[in-house]
Structure 1
Amino acid sequence: MTSPTPESYDAIILGAGGAGLMAAATAGQRGRRVLVIDHADEPGKKILISGGGRCNFTNVGAGPAHYLSANPHFAKSALGRYRPADFIEMVDRHSIAWHEKTLGQLFCDGSARQIVAMLLYECRQGDVTIRCSHDVRDVTHADGRFTVVHGDRVASAPALVIATGGPSIPKLGATRFSYEIARHFGLKLVDPRPALVPLTLGADEALFRELSGVAHDVVAKIGKTAFREAALFTHRGLSGPAILQISSFWRHGEDVGIDFLPDQPDGWFRDAKRSRPRAGARSVLGALLPDRLAEALAERLALAGEMANLSDKALQAAERRLADWRFRPNGTEGFAKAEVTVGGIATTELSSQTMEARKLPGLYAIGEAVDVTGWLGGYNFQWAWASGWAAGRAL
């Protein structure tokens, strides 16, 4: 049985997520004939679940400092040329109502489906062909063209864009396919690991795992990196925005420091002894922390009885520990619960201006497939839009 004659395109984009759709729309509206292929049954699946279904589509303050990469300078070009204001202009042009939450995070007033619909409309304006529910069976390169066998069809083009993301959230169909293609074409990888992911605690921290459901505003830190947001205790360990943020920087064997009372001045515990000598240490902590958390911390600190009976030295030591409580996670909840992936296709392999592979002209990699990972709060979508736009302008 003979293979079907390849359909000819100017560019084939693997992945119909945020980065892939952005690249497709940008290239299509420049007159390029573009094909997008995805194995999922509909485009933009990760967009649809983001932000609790309202899509945290960018962050007004997004800049290179908000991204992790083996090369922290790599993201500067794309982020500098396609800014949050550029994406906001598109959102406004489509009359999608949005609002700003804390720390510059922008969300749709309505549904994340509006963002997907907007990107699909922009693709239609460029006559982009999108094929979902098509598994890619083979990708080859010869005579300056890439040939992609997908389902029962074959397509070829002088340009191929890897936009299939990383392995985070496999229930949405996420795989390591982008890494397989990269390796196939000789591109190096930075070892991928889960990011923006809950941390797990061992049996020695069972006291804190028993606080499941308790949340409190803290500062979470590793080295000089610190985030102030809510931390949430879970039956497996630690979660919440502060923990998700710091998890991207955490490595096995490292401690995570937590400041449980970041607003309290030096000496506050000793001052409390003088102002409330008959109060119990547990009740003093309870005025500043959720009850169950105050009780657990008081137990660990061995703070029993009235404040008047506790020495200043003991209170000073407790104060120091509460400002830098050390947890040593025994792991994370893995790619299944990770919002994104740290690592991926090495930036040393790519042009920061076009996202094109240096050693194989016509091959591009964008979005989460690349070793550029944003903080929690709309930063990863901004990288998807910026890297997709940069590749789309180069196709």
Structure 2
Amino acid sequence: MQVDTAIIGAGAAGMMCAAHANGRILLVDHARAPGEKIRISGGGRCNFTNLHAHAGAFLSENPHFAKSALARYSQWDFIDLVDHHRIAWHEKTLGQLFCDTSAREIIAMLRGLMQQNGVDLRLQTAAHSITKTADGFTLVLSREGNETQVHAKRLVISTGGKSIPKMGATGMAYDVAAQFGISVTPTRPALVPFTFDKDRFAALAGVATNARVTANGQSFNEALLFTHRGLSGPAILQASSYWREGDDITVNLLPDGRLVADLRARRAQAGRKNLTTELAQYLPARLVEHFATHMDLTGNLADQSDTRLRQIATALSHWSLTPTGTEGYRTAEVTLGGINTDELSAKTMETHKVPGLFFIGEAVDVTGWLGGYNFQWAWSSAMAAAQAL
């Protein structure tokens, strides 16, 4: 088989690239269906981009690398594409855009675009034995015991990272990089829940509250969720991308900072009110009970001095915790790290060392915040490569 471009990995980036590249395009994936991460994302409604997507919302050893691709194919471009295909959407919070109906609409849109572009999509097909030739690459496709040799002028790797192996993640991109002497920055799970020893928060499992969570100087104000294994929720997932093994995180359960002033006013008006009852106006009752076992929260409001109220507020707004770890790639939404951006053209995603070899999407050392940023990187990096193919 002779093609102009072979793309391995039919996820968001791979399909987007295949849909817009020129020439004869072969798209290969070992999964039964394309876009499985799209299908499950956003509770089945796909948080497909973010209104506020910008380079500062992405982690990379080179924080400037993503700027070119994001500027040349922005969130507004993808929104225009979605609107053109009459997919209804809504903004949830913090600029996060979701399909009104189903994530399957995004998959159907991409499949339709690929069909219009004449893409040869091969599912339940493994690609292996990749070799460089004088005028491109050869690879072997395997399906149900049958093998096909393919020659491609160009090769695009869009197989993602290691996150959510049950969805088929293998880390193949890193193997291909190693084969061709392309460096990979250290990888680890990101956008992932924290774990703690000894069922520390098991009694609070299911409790949720708004909080500001800080890790290594980066703070996020969103929901926090207690689980049987530790802490989750958007604020925690965001902070996990900045956390390193052994580091503390700081949890501010009173991000609006009004507790002392409010309790002083309540003390003057209703001093006989129980302190824990009043705290339960600001925090879930079960969480107040938890703190009551670790700090003195007895008595009525009238019993509390200004100094004591400030001490309580400080304890609740500067809660320092040391996670034992994370839940790992099993539940991580993305993989932090990946193909070293020094190895790639920021304009085309092509490798400097191996002409014709491209890496796009999650495989690259560009990792976005929670809330549609990583899908935007998939669209933007895919288009950067597609325009060069």
1:177 aligns with 2:169: no
Q: Which residue is equivalent to 2:369? A: 375
* Cα distance in 2, alignment partners of residues 258 and 122 from structure 1: 45
1:74 aligns with 2:78: no
* Cα distance in 1, alignment partners of residues 129 and 329 from structure 2: 26
* Contact kept in structure 2, 1:270 and 1:316, CA below 8 Å: no
* Aligned residue among 279, 303, 306 for 1:309: 303
* Cα distance in 2, alignment partners of residues 281 and 184 from structure 1: 64
Q: Which residue is equivalent to 2:279? A: 285
1:187 aligns with 2:182: yes
Q: Which residue is equivalent to 2:234? A: 241
The SS at the match of 1:394 is coil
Alignment of 1:192-271 (within 5 A): 192-203=187-198, 206=200, 208-265=201-258, 267-268=260-261, 269-271=263-265
What's the offset of the Cα at 1:266? 6.8
Kindly report the root-mean-square deviation, in angstroms, between the aligned alpha carbons of the 2 structures.
1.4
Q: Which residue is equivalent to 1:119? A: 110
Alignment of 1:1-395 (within 5 A): 7-27=1-21, 30=22, 32-151=23-142, 152-203=147-198, 206=200, 208-265=201-258, 267-268=260-261, 269-395=263-389
What's the offset of the Cα at 1:301? 2.1
Q: Deviations over 1:262-282 (max 9, x none)?
A: 123373345544444322221
What's the offset of the Cα at 1:377? 0.6
* Cα distance in 2, alignment partners of residues 104 and 149 from structure 1: 43
The SS at the match of 2:48 is strand
* Contact kept in structure 1, 2:216 and 2:242, CA below 8 Å: no
* Contact kept in structure 1, 2:60 and 2:365, CA below 8 Å: yes
Q: Deviations over 1:309-340 (max 9, x none)?
A: 33433322221121111111100011000011
* Cα distance in 1, alignment partners of residues 179 and 298 from structure 2: 63
Structure 1 residue ranges without an equivalent (≥5): 1-6
Letter in 2 for 1:240: G
Letter in 2 for 1:306: N
* Contact kept in structure 2, 1:201 and 1:209, CA below 8 Å: no
* Contact kept in structure 2, 1:189 and 1:345, CA below 8 Å: yes
Q: Are the structure 2 counterparts of residues 37 and 68 from structure 1 closer, same or farther at C-alpha, using a change threshold of 3 Å? A: same
* Cα distance in 2, alignment partners of residues 176 and 270 from structure 1: 56
* Contact kept in structure 1, 2:216 and 2:243, CA below 8 Å: no
Aligned pair count reads: 384
* Cα distance in 2, alignment partners of residues 144 and 311 from structure 1: 80
| Stretches (4+) displaced over 3 A | 269-276
Letter in 1 for 2:77: D
* Contact kept in structure 1, 2:51 and 2:95, CA below 8 Å: yes
The SS at the match of 1:335 is helix
| TM value normalised by structure 2 | 0.96
Structure 2 residue ranges without an equivalent (≥5): none
* Cα distance in 2, alignment partners of residues 270 and 138 from structure 1: 71
* Contact kept in structure 2, 1:13 and 1:24, CA below 8 Å: yes
Q: Deviations over 1:140-186 (max 9, x none)?
A: 11213111111111111121111000010111111111111111111
* Contact kept in structure 1, 2:3 and 2:150, CA below 8 Å: yes
Q: Which residue is equivalent to 1:3? A: none
Letter in 2 for 1:294: V
Q: Deviations over 1:236-264 (max 9, x none)?
A: 00001111111111111111111111123
Letter in 2 for 1:124: Q
What's the offset of the Cα at 1:388? 0.3
What's the offset of the Cα at 1:111? 1.1
The SS at the match of 1:228 is strand
Letter in 1 for 2:157: I
* Cα distance in 1, alignment partners of residues 68 and 132 from structure 2: 28
What's the offset of the Cα at 1:209? 2.9
> Percent of aligned positions with the same letter in both sequences?
52
* Cα distance in 1, alignment partners of residues 350 and 274 from structure 2: 64
